[in-house]
Each structure stands twice: as C-alpha cells, then as structure tokens.
Amino acid sequence: RCKARGRNSFCFYSAELQRAGAATLSLENDLAQAVARDQLRLHYQPQIAMETGQLVGLEALLRWQHPRLGLLAPASFIVLAEEAHLMADLGDWVLEQACRDAAVLRQRDLEHVKIAINVSPQQFQQAGFARRMLARIAAAGLSPRQFEVEIVETSLMRDMKTTQNLLATLADAGVAIAVDDFGTGYSSLGYLQSLPLHTLKLDRCFVRPISQSGSISPIVRAVLAMARGLELDCVAEGVESPIQHQALREAGCRIGQGYHYSRPLTFDVLLAGLRLQAGGAVLTPTSSHPH
C-alpha cells in the first residue's frame, strides 16, 4: 500500500508507527491478562526509624513478571494501565496481596509495621474506593491500622470535596494517609491542615543533593519543621548513603526509606532478613546493605 505512493520515507515512518502501535496494543492485551495469569508481584521496601533502626513500614511496589520482557517496574506499565482502564483491577490485586502479607505480619506480632499502598489518581477518583478498600481489609480480618495509602500531592488537589470525604472515611477507620513525592506538585499548603494526613514523604529530589558535605537545604529544613508543627510523620525518600541518613537524622527527620537501608524485596526475602527484638524488628546486615 505504501509502495504504491512511492514515498519511501513516509512508508518507513508509517511502518515504524504501526510497529510501535502494535507493541503497545500487545502489551495492553498482555496486561489485561496479567492478573488472571498470576504475573503480578509485590515487592516491599522497608521504612526505617532513623534513631533506632526499627522497621516501621513497608511500601508495596508493584512489579509485572512479563513472560518475555522479564520483571517490569511500574514506570513501564502504570500509565498504560491507566489509559486502558485496567488500573482498578491492578489496584484490587495489590490490595488483596497486601492483605495476605499483612496477615502474615500479624501472625509474627508485626502488626505495628504498616503496609503502605500506592493509589493512583484514577483509582482514587473511583466512586466507593474508600469503602471497598475498608471492606476488603475487614473481609481479611485485619485492622485498617495496619495500612497506609500513599497519594501523590497533585492527585489530592483535583477535587477537594471528594478528596476530603474519601480521606475522612479512610482516616476515621484508622488507615494512615501519606502524601507521596511531597514537594514536587504545585499546590497550596492549606490542604495540609484541612486533610486528615498522617505522613509527608519528602521526594527524593530533595534528598539527592545532600552530598559529601552533608548540608541540608533550607527547603528540607522547612518541610521537616512544618511536618513537626503539624504533627505529621516525615519519611525521607531515596536515602542512598550514610551521609544522607546522618544529615537527615540530625535535621530531625525520623523515618527513612531508600537503598541505604534496603532495596525493594520480595516479602519472603524480607521476612527472612528480619531480626526480631523486644518491641519490633530490625533488618539484619545482609538485608540492609545488599549492594
């Protein structure tokens, strides 16, 4: 068909586009089957109390074990899932798996270790999201206090009324609410006071510049002071080095998450690497410094 037009360059471009389109379409078809074919996985990344080294939370991070492409991180399929309206199904799977793992934590007397679940804007906008989440947690015989939801700042700002009701439903039941990637969205600070928040997750772009000197920017200090004043937990994301850890700790940050403590791990590997102590659990040296 292309050849008949005698436009080789156009022909090439068109074929390329077709291939790209076909690849996306086939990935979308694969993704639609991923739940049924048991290809989704949750990895968990520890959140650590900087003072004591105790494990206080686990962030659930979705992975897709693709039969040909291998283990895929969310960057390569979450947007696709949203466009194809598959995110609700994926989110349901995440919550079910997180409930199974939370039940194991409970058996091990680790109920205080919260499982943090990422919720995309699209999931968040669904009618009845909060009620369905609470129903699932109740059906698993678990306490909402074992869970936290992470919502990116920009998604909180979309529809204040809906957001307020939804978060109130979750928070009243005991689910902790975290603002993810805090500091990267363009938003007014007023919402920090009007929403029932529990945690600010300081985006890793603020942690990255803490280099050899260990000096902390005025912005980070201000965020930490604000979190303290509002009685919110602050979790530093992307802590990769002992210098970053030390500097943040000295600046009053209480909780850290990042490769310095642990990469995201499968639940089984993570559990195997925990050492139980009176009143909690710490990572053993092998699991805390895997690189």
Give the residue with the Cβ less far from Mg ion, 180 or 233.
180
Q: What angle do CA 275, 277, 281 make, to 5 degrees?
A: 55
Report 166-205 residues binding ligand C2E (CB under 6 A). Answer: 180-181, 204
Instruction: Please say which residue, 15 or 71, places its beta carbon nearer to ligand C2E.
Output: 71
Asked if residue 46 binds ligand C2E (CB under 6 A), the reply is no
Q: Does 180 bind Mg ion (CB under 5 A)?
A: yes
- Other CB atoms within 10 Å distance of the CB of residue 211: 11
Buried b (16+ CB within 10 A) or exposed e, 20-54: eeeeeeebeebbeebeeeebbebbbbbbbbbeeeb
- CB of 120 closer than 8 Å to CB of 91: yes
Block residue for tokens 């939801």 = 149
Write out the H or E segment, with its range, that includes residue 18.
helix 8-34
Q: Is 163 in the site for Mg ion (CB under 5 A)?
A: no
Kindly tell me which residue out of 45, 47, 118, 120 binds Mg ion, with binding defined by CB under 5 A: 118
- Smaller CB separation from Mg ion, 233 or 237: 237
Which range binds ligand C2E by CB under 6 A, 16-24, 71-79, 134-142, 279-287?
Answer: 71-79
74 contacts ligand C2E (rule: CB under 6 A): yes
Instruction: State the nearest-atom distance from the C-beta of 238 to ligand C2E, in Å.
Output: 4
Cβ–Cβ under 8 Å, residues 82 and 114: no
Residue 181 within binding range of Mg ion, rule CB under 5 A: yes
CA distances from 60 to 19, 263, 266, 289 (A): 34, 12, 10, 19
Q: How far apart are CA 270 and CA 45, in angstroms?
A: 9
Binding status of residue 148 toward Mg ion by CB under 5 A:
no
User: Least separation, in Å, of the C-beta of 164 and ligand C2E?
Assistant: 21
User: Is 258 near ligand C2E (CB under 6 A)?
Assistant: yes
Beta partners for residue 274, in sequence order? 283
Kindly state whether residue 280 participates in binding ligand C2E, applying the rule CB under 6 A: no
Instruction: Enumerate binding residues for ligand C2E (CB under 6 A).
Output: 45, 61-62, 73-75, 78, 94, 118-120, 150, 180-181, 204, 238, 240, 258-259, 264
**Residues at the site binding Mg ion, with contacts judged by CB under 5 A:** 118, 150, 180-181, 237
